[in-house]
Structure 1
Amino acid sequence: MKELQEIIQQYYTYLANNEACALATVVKVDGSAYRRPGARMLVSENGQLTGAISGGCLEGDALRKAQAVIFKQKSSIVTYDTTDEDDQKFGIGLGCNGIIHVLIEPIQFEEVLNPIKLLEIALGKRETAVLLTLVDLDPTATDQPGTLACIQAEESHLSSRAQKLSHLNQFIDDTAYLTSLQSSIIQKIASEETLYCLVEPIHPPVHIWLFGAGNDTIPVTKFAQLLGWEVTLIDGRKTHANEVRFPGVNRIFVRSAEDALEGLSADAHTVALLMTHNFEYEATLLEGLLPLPLPYIGILGPKKKSLKLFERLENKGFAIPHERIYGPMGLHIGAEGSEAIALSVLSEIMAVLHHKPAGFLRELDGPIHASL
């Protein structure tokens, strides 16, 4: 998410300076690779890179090819085969063992819905959007349709070229299916052997409702910003909840527990962290949080504190959705100190939202990305 945000931001810098650029997108991977389909890198005519398509082994060559695309103003597909261990050019340094297909598109500023603008639309609302990218994997192909459409629940945004391509109709017509996808898929176009469509859901960034403005919440906000997540900070003390202590936080509210949730809107990508160190404040908060569709509610502190909160609410007639409440919150990684605890908590949030067990990767039987 952070990578896409940075690409969009850099695009506007190039636009302001009239500096030509191209977008490189991983569209298909066979075997193992550091990045998966949907990884992107923006390349300027002067060689500046934003984002990445690998762990570093492909960027140099992709940069040169992107500059050629900028010069010719014509999209191309580049295939990197890292399965040959005798190949000293790619993959050997990282131990890659896959075939990576990368689409490189020149960005035309005058195109109203160029690939970057479609990305921006996809990130513009707190709802899942789907990007459609059409590619011909034949290395001799002279035409690459490229990133053509952004599909949202209520509307579709099609580039001028997309409106002329019948190939996309089968995807655009099934909006409900598209917006239900959790991860990218690439589908062969039935009528063409080498023509594929990358169907890529773009989910809203995680939004943390962070209750508590003590020193231990500062690392949470910093790590969240590194991930491109949004943070709304709420505390009853104006001496603590302010921009001086929490620069870069999206929103800061000084509120009592009774008013803490006023005007807040939850969705499937919103989580709540109770870190106030104030039992009564959090007991009131939890009453308001329980009915909301939050996939994760974290409670800082010992387990007996959470059990005491549950007991109070049950005595008032509330049913406790234990499957959505994590108290104590965080992964059991031996965290000590506010920075390590923040790492533990945000890692748990990511595991919960991705429906992962948060175990050791070495214990997986198959590829790391097999079930993403």
Structure 2
Amino acid sequence: MKELEDIVKAYHTACRQGLKTALATVVHVEGSAYRQPGARMLVTENGALIGAISGGCLEGDALRKAQLVIMQQQPMLVTYDTNDDDDAKLGVGLGCNGIIHILLEPVGANDPDNPVALLQQIAGNRAPAVLVTLCTLHNRKAPQPGTCLLLTANGTLRHHITDDALQTAVIADAQQALQTQTSVIKTYIAAQNNFTALTAYLPPAPQLLIAGAGNDVLPLVKLANLLGWQSTVVDGRPNYATTTRFPEASRVLVAKPAQVLSQVTTDNNTAVVLMTHNYNYDLALLSQLLPLSLPYIGVLGPAKKLQRMLEELQDNGIPISPQQRARIHGPAGLDIGAETAEEIALSVISEIKSVLSATTGTCLREKTTAIHPREQQIILQQHL
């Protein structure tokens, strides 16, 4: 989500400077690639790049082609075959062992439904959405519709698909993607032309609620901000919980445990870390958090501390189900040998990311399967 926000900000800066832009989108990947379908990059006519479509190996060539798209004001589909050992064919060093299809489309500043205008409806909002990008994957010379549909959780639908049968099919698939929280790539087969759609489900950015405003919270907030996560810092001490100390936090609250949840809206993409170093504050807030369907509750400190907290809650008549216990992580963080506040922040953020992504947090070299699920690369088909 941060990448989309950066693209939107850069686009408006370019508009103020009178610069034309183009949007590059990875629409399909066969085999291995650094970025997966849905990765985006904004290109300005003076050569600025915001976002990324690869690890840096494709950006130079994509820049040149994007500037041509800006000049001609016509979308272009570009395919990079990184299986080819002859890197000189592209003038870039590749070696990713995959085929990457990238759609380049000009961004019309006067078009209210241009690609970045649709991105702006998503960026900064903590609500899921679906974005559809249409291309003619197997006929690069055919028309390339580009980013053409946005569907949000509140029912907002914006599109510019003129073919009625295609419109009906794409909207139905977008609604299903929003409901199932999954992305899909599908080719719609028609008599005149076949269009392939990247129907990308975009979850809201993670939200981090941190109980505590000590010095060890500072790097945690900074790292969350770097990742584009929205963070809320809450503490009962007004001289600690200040925006001056935490300028990168989305919100800073001074509140007692019983007052916190009335001021914070949580969802299934919200993680909480208890690190006030005040046992009673953390205990009281934990009792408030238990009934919520939060994916992650981290408790900083030794395992004995958490065990004491759980026993005390149960002694006070607050039952803890196995499902609730599984969501509580204490000591919080991955085992990376962290010692300093910065290292502990990295450890905690890494564990949260692992939980939210439903991964194990192990070394990639230990994986026996592909890093990215191969089912994401399968193109479904539908006859219109």
Please state which band the TM-score falls in when normalised by the shorter chain.
over 0.9
The verdict on how the C-alpha distance between 1:91 and 1:67 changes in structure 2, with shifts beyond 3 A counting, is closer
Secondary structure in structure 2 of the residue aligned to 1:6: helix
User: 323, 331, 335: which is aligned to 2:326?
Assistant: 323
Q: Which residue of 2 aligns with 1:167?
A: 166
Identity %: 47
The verdict on how the C-alpha distance between 1:351 and 1:257 changes in structure 2, with shifts beyond 3 A counting, is same
Mapped contact 1:83–1:99 kept (Cα < 8 A): yes
Superposed CA offset, 1:309-362 (max 9, x none): 101111122222111110111111111111111111111111101110111111
CA RMSD of aligned residues (A): 1.8
Superposed CA offset, 1:170-206 (max 9, x none): 2312555211344532112133785211010111110
Q: Which residue of 2 aligns with 1:157?
A: 157
**Counterparts of 2:75 and 2:81 in 1: how far apart (Å)?**
20
**Counterparts of 1:255 and 1:153 in 2: how far apart (Å)?**
31
Write out aligned runs for 1:124-273 (5 A): 124-159=124-159, 161-164=160-163, 166-174=165-173, 176-191=175-190, 194-273=194-273
**Counterparts of 1:23 and 1:51 in 2: how far apart (Å)?**
10
Matched, 1:77 2:69: no
Q: Which residue of 2 aligns with 1:88?
A: 88
The verdict on how the C-alpha distance between 1:314 and 1:171 changes in structure 2, with shifts beyond 3 A counting, is farther
* Stretch of structure 1 that moved more, 330-339 or 89-98: 89-98
Letter of the 1:364 counterpart: K
Mapped contact 2:338–2:344 kept (Cα < 8 A): yes
Mapped contact 2:214–2:276 kept (Cα < 8 A): yes
Q: Which residue of 1 aligns with 2:121?
A: 121
Mapped contact 1:332–1:344 kept (Cα < 8 A): yes
**Counterparts of 1:112 and 1:86 in 2: how far apart (Å)?**
43
**Counterparts of 2:36 and 2:140 in 1: how far apart (Å)?**
24
Mapped contact 2:298–2:328 kept (Cα < 8 A): yes
Mapped contact 2:43–2:66 kept (Cα < 8 A): yes
State how many pairs are aligned: 371
Secondary structure in structure 2 of the residue aligned to 1:297: strand
Letter of the 2:257 counterpart: A
**Counterparts of 2:124 and 2:244 in 1: how far apart (Å)?**
28
The verdict on how the C-alpha distance between 1:290 and 1:302 changes in structure 2, with shifts beyond 3 A counting, is same
Mapped contact 2:135–2:196 kept (Cα < 8 A): yes
Mapped contact 2:205–2:269 kept (Cα < 8 A): yes
**Counterparts of 2:142 and 2:67 in 1: how far apart (Å)?**
18
**Counterparts of 1:309 and 1:256 in 2: how far apart (Å)?**
18
**Counterparts of 2:237 and 2:47 in 1: how far apart (Å)?**
48
Mapped contact 1:91–1:97 kept (Cα < 8 A): no
Secondary structure in structure 2 of the residue aligned to 1:117: helix
**Counterparts of 1:9 and 1:166 in 2: how far apart (Å)?**
35
Q: Which residue of 2 aligns with 1:359?
A: 362
Mapped contact 1:83–1:97 kept (Cα < 8 A): yes
Shift of 1:220: 0.4
Shift of 1:266: 0.8
The verdict on how the C-alpha distance between 1:8 and 1:144 changes in structure 2, with shifts beyond 3 A counting, is same
Superposed CA offset, 1:69-89 (max 9, x none): 001111010001110112335
Structure 2 residue runs of 5 or longer lacking an equivalent are: 377-384
The verdict on how the C-alpha distance between 1:282 and 1:200 changes in structure 2, with shifts beyond 3 A counting, is same
Superposed CA offset, 1:223-255 (max 9, x none): 001100000110111221112211121100111
Secondary structure in structure 2 of the residue aligned to 1:83: coil
* Stretch of structure 1 that moved more, 350-359 or 241-250: 241-250
Bigger relative contact order, structure 1 or 2 (CA pairs below 8 A, ≥6 apart): 2
Q: Which residue of 2 aligns with 1:368?
A: 371
**Counterparts of 2:273 and 2:132 in 1: how far apart (Å)?**
35
The verdict on how the C-alpha distance between 1:323 and 1:91 changes in structure 2, with shifts beyond 3 A counting, is farther
Write out aligned runs for 1:19-98 (5 A): 19-89=19-89, 93-98=93-98
Shift of 1:105: 0.5
**Counterparts of 2:161 and 2:275 in 1: how far apart (Å)?**
48
Large movers: runs of 4+ above 6 Å: none
The verdict on how the C-alpha distance between 1:165 and 1:248 changes in structure 2, with shifts beyond 3 A counting, is farther
Q: Which residue of 2 aligns with 1:310?
A: 310
Mapped contact 2:221–2:246 kept (Cα < 8 A): yes
**Counterparts of 1:68 and 1:317 in 2: how far apart (Å)?**
68
**Counterparts of 1:366 and 1:92 in 2: how far apart (Å)?**
28
Letter of the 1:325 counterpart: I
Mapped contact 1:258–1:285 kept (Cα < 8 A): yes
Secondary structure in structure 1 of the residue aligned to 2:273: strand
Matched, 1:337 2:340: yes
Structure 1 residue runs of 5 or longer lacking an equivalent are: none
The verdict on how the C-alpha distance between 1:281 and 1:90 changes in structure 2, with shifts beyond 3 A counting, is farther
Letter of the 1:167 counterpart: L
Mapped contact 1:118–1:157 kept (Cα < 8 A): no
TM-score (norm 1): 0.95
Letter of the 1:20 counterpart: K
TM-score (norm 2): 0.92
Superposed CA offset, 1:23-43 (max 9, x none): 000100001111111111100
